[in-house]
Amino acid sequence: MNIKNEVLVRMYIVLAVFLLLAVLLFAQTVKISYFQGEKWRAIAKDNYVKYESVPALRGNILSDDGSLLAASIDKYDIHFDLKVNGLTNKVFEENVDSLAYCLSKYVNNRYTPGGQLMRLKEARAKGARYFTIAKDVSYEKKNQISEFPIFNRGRHRGGLIVERVLKRDLPFKLLAKRTIGYASREGAHDVGIEGAFDKFLSGTDGQRLTLKVSDKTRIPINERAEIEPEDGTHIQTTLDIGVQDVAEEALMDALKYHKAQSGTVILMDVKTGQLKALANLEKTPNGYWETFNYGIGTKIEPGSVLKLAPVMALLEDGKIDIHQNIPIYNGKRTFYDVEMVDSSSKSEDMDSTTLLNAFAMSSNVGIASLATKHYQGTDKQGNVKAKKLLRRLEQFNITYQTGIELAGEPMPFIKDPIKDSKDWSGLTLPWMSIGYEMEMTPLQILAFYNAVANDGKYMKPYLVSDILDKEGCIKHISPSVLNERIASKNTIDNAKLLLEEVVKTGTARKLKNPKYHFSGKTGTSQINYKGRRKNTQKKVGYQSSFVGYFPSNQPRYSCIVVITDPKENGNYGADVAGPVFRKIIDNIFFLKPELHLALNDYKKPKLEGKDLPENFAGNLEDMEVVLKTLDIPYQKQVNNPAMTTSIVRRDTVILIDRPKGENLIPNVVGMGVRDALYVLENEGVEVKFKGRGKVTKQSISPGTRIKGQTIHLTLG
């Protein structure tokens, strides 16, 4: 065979081999794809090595001053891979005793060192890949465990598996818990700020490779994630943690005292619409808890607190003046077949009174009669007059949602005389005018009152002011005006006078505070009152409320308190909800010095008798300075300026000489130490004293002859 033929033969052989391999590969591909496809697809689906998500650190939720309301805390689960390749039998046997001792002493003392040793050896014999050492440990404890024998060799040579677990912590525990809320990883049933701002708080999850070691267990291959998670941003709320605490405590005390079913408190900054406190409590078998955000998510019939709206409508339409007399029919009037009765006994002796007084004493009959007179029936052109009232309510923003960023705010329910004509009866208008036959959330009621306090400017209530990252603020949420003016200046001014009169002389007069003035409206509405109309046996309950703002002259905060079904110690708004309002603003007044007037801005009381300084003694000039500074009227009848004392005659202080004989111990009781020293030492008497303040006692009686003695003075 020549060389050429030999080369060709070899080439053919190689080609044949390649063809055979190709046929075999093709056959194997067909076999795997068609005959074993299900098997291998199942294996692929159940990956032995695959990427899994690494949760990002969730952003913090902060109060308005930066205090933590909710934070993600790093915790760690520690496991032991006893089958890792780098952990030889020699290393294990030489160090397992020491490891068992450390685990028993510092991690889990339920097992003795011997017990721990037995557990570790059994796990090694079984080839355990994910043996639990500890769960939910702190960063410091995790570092300590990482230094134990064997574990200090790391993941691949010592089998230590450290998994970060993020725990959501509320440093203030139950404080504002429902408002802070929660967000599930699946995005379902999100609640509160956590739910509303989840896309900012949640961040971006990372990725890490994991190895399947059993049907239910996968372990990370590396200590660090292949793709690190990106932490979420922080949310700064408008909540004032001090005010929130006061609101929750006041509400809790009231619910327990009155054995009520539930209650809500909302406090808003008048100028901005920022919510400073939002508390909701409900009776449960385990006590009172914040189970639902009633203030934002539940509609109620407002009752008397919404009498302000129809009165403002009448003022806007020029139908009435607040000083004009209106009929109140001695507190009783029948509308069609239903009698309306005033709760105040004052009405019984009055056929009429001014609108100002009728509103202050919360006359149902007076307000309902006014509304019926001007908005019942049709006008000369055939237009339904009640539509005018509805348009005014729309003008006041009462028929709209507030737009609060939390989920679950319902639309107010306000009847339309045309669209809801089937449900509109002769009773609808008079009962609407006193806050029935309609439904609003407490927040929607408060937003209306806040607009009155804010000179007619309706602010959107909101709970979040800033979104922050590590570098600072990335988004600032500014106050938002929803209605520049809900009513004319004259109407707003008159509305303020009405609300101020409620506290001065009306249903809230018992709540007055001499240190500051506030304005507001009490409300006591019946629950299940329709059943009572129909003479059913259904039990009638009450809903007590108070809504207002303070200080009256320059409103800073508005607040609503609603307490449902109080069973003991009263049920009227002034007795149940009003004291909660008063307690909250008393505490705010104490917490916020900027709300205080300067001392010389307070009206000076007229002092009489026991309130005036009597039997005080000292130098005339000094005493005059004090009396003039305190604006206390006084008269002088003095010959010896160094020995002056005071006596009181009605509302006047009279300054007179304190008698002193020649070479006799003077009376220095009532003097300051400086004046007493001056008088006694000028007489040649040595003085010793103890205590602070004015002289209350002297060791040598006045009138004793001076013989170079030492006198001891007691100050107090």
**What tens digit of pLDDT does each residue of 170-213 get?**
888 788 888 888 776 554 557 889 888 988 988 888 887 777 76
For the whole model, what pTM was predicted? Answer: 0.74
Name the CA radius of gyration of the chain, rounded. 41
Q: Is the peptide bond before 551 cis (omega within 30 degrees of 0)?
A: yes
**Claim to verify: residue 278 and residue 296 sit in the same structural domain:** yes
Mean pLDDT for the stretch of residues 284-297: 91
Instruction: Give the pLDDT confidence score for residue 223 in this predicted structure.
Output: 65
pLDDT mean over 549-574: 95
Q: Are residues 61 and 121 in the same domain?
A: yes
> What is the pLDDT at residue 681?
84
Flag whether 251 is in a domain: yes
Check if the beta carbon of residue 239 is closer than 8 Å to that of residue 266: no
| Amino acid residing at 561 | V
Range 9-29 average pLDDT:
78
Q: Could you tell me the pLDDT band of residue 537, with boundaries at 50, 70 and 90? A: very low
Most confident of 52-66, 355-369, 526-540, 672-686: 355-369
Q: Which pLDDT value is given to residue 64? A: 92
Beta bridge partners of 542: 526
Give the span between the Cα atoms of 369 and 316, in whole angstroms.
17
Beta bridge partners, 550, equal: 557
For the residues 479-501, what does the mean pLDDT come to? 97
Confidence at residue 121, expressed as pLDDT on a 0 to 100 scale: 93
Q: Lowest mean pLDDT: which of 42-51, 255-264, 676-685? A: 42-51
Q: What is the CATH number of the domain that holds 707?
A: 3.30.10.20
**pLDDT tens readout for residues 341-391:** 998 888 888 899 999 999 999 999 999 999 999 999 988 888 899 999 999
Alpha-carbon separation of residue 495 from 372, 450, 510 (angstroms): 20, 12, 21
pLDDT at 230: 85
Residue 677 has pLDDT above 70, yes or no: yes
175 and 118 housed in the same domain: yes
Q: Is residue 121 part of a domain?
A: yes
569, part of any domain: yes
**CA nearest to 142, candidates 76, 59, 96:** 76
Residues 314 and 489 sit within 8 Å (Cβ to Cβ): no
pLDDT of 5 over the 60 cut? yes
The mean-pLDDT minimum among 369-383, 534-548, 661-675, 683-697 falls in 534-548
Confidence (pLDDT) at 226:
66
> What band does 113 get if pLDDT is binned at 50, 70 and 90?
very high
Average pLDDT, integer, range 102-127: 92
Position 388, amino acid: K
pLDDT-above-90 percentage for the chain: 53
Per-residue pLDDT at 632 exceeds 50: yes
pLDDT of residue 536: 47
Tens of pLDDT, residues 27-76? 777 776 666 666 655 555 555 677 777 778 889 999 999 998 988 888 89
634/670 same-domain check: no
Q: How many CB atoms lie within 10 A of CB 226?
A: 13
38 or 396, which is more confident:
396
Position 200 in a domain: yes
Lowest mean pLDDT among 27-31, 277-281, 350-354, 675-679: 27-31
My answer on whether 646 and 498 are in the same domain is no
Q: Give the residue ranges of DSSP H helices in 261-327.
A: 294-297, 308-316
Which residues are within 8 A (CB) of 674 and not within 5 positions of it... i.e. 6 or more apart? none
Average pLDDT taken over every residue of the chain: 87
Residue 476: its pLDDT value, please? 95
The number of distinct structural domains making up the chain is: 5
Same domain, residue pair 650 and 677: no
φ/ψ of 691, rounded to 5, equals 100, -170
Contacts with 449 (C-beta within 8 Å, 6 or more apart), sequence order? 308, 520, 521, 547, 548, 549, 558, 560
> CATH number for the domain including 190?
3.90.1310.10
User: Hey, which of 127-131, 219-223, 224-228, 269-273 has the most confident mean pLDDT?
Assistant: 269-273
Please report the pLDDT score of residue 29 as a whole number. Answer: 74
The pLDDT value recorded for residue 124 is 93
**Do residues 618 and 709 both lie within one domain?**
no
Over 50: is that where the pLDDT of 697 sits? yes
If asked whether residues 612 and 710 sit together in one domain, one would say no
In angstroms, the Cα distances linking 222 to 121, 206, 227, 494, 541 are: 25, 14, 12, 72, 64
- What pLDDT, on the 0 to 100 scale, is given for residue 213? 67
Together in a domain, 195 and 324:
no
CA angle 187, 191, 197 (to 5 degrees): 70
Band the pLDDT of 532: cuts 50, 70, 90. Answer: very low
Best CA proximity match to 672, nearest among 612, 619, 611, 610: 619
Q: Quickly state the pLDDT bin for 637 (edges 50, 70, 90).
A: confident
DSSP assignment letter at 472: E
On whether residue 577 sits in a domain, the answer given is: yes
- Asked whether residue 232 falls in the same domain as residue 302, the answer is no
Structure tokens at 694: 């004015």
Residues in CB range of 311: below 8 A, 6 or more apart? 320, 355, 359, 367, 370, 495, 498
92 and 175 together in one domain: yes
Element containing residue 694 per DSSP (H, E): none
CATH number at residue 523: 3.40.710.10
Span 476-491, mean pLDDT? 96
Same domain, 398 and 272: yes
Query: According to the model, what pLDDT value does residue 467 have?
Result: 94
Residue 321 lies in a domain: yes
The domain of 10 spans 3-46
Q: Say if 241 falls within a structural domain.
A: no
Centre a 10 Å sphere on the Cβ of residue 172 and count the other Cβ atoms it contains. Answer: 17
> pLDDT confidence of 4, banded at 50, 70, 90?
low
DSSP state of 452: H
Q: Of 615, 642, 658, which residue is a domain's last? A: 658
Over residues 454-483, the pLDDT tens digits come to: 999 999 999 999 999 888 899 999 999 999
Query: Which one of 189, 214, 236 terminates a domain?
Result: 236
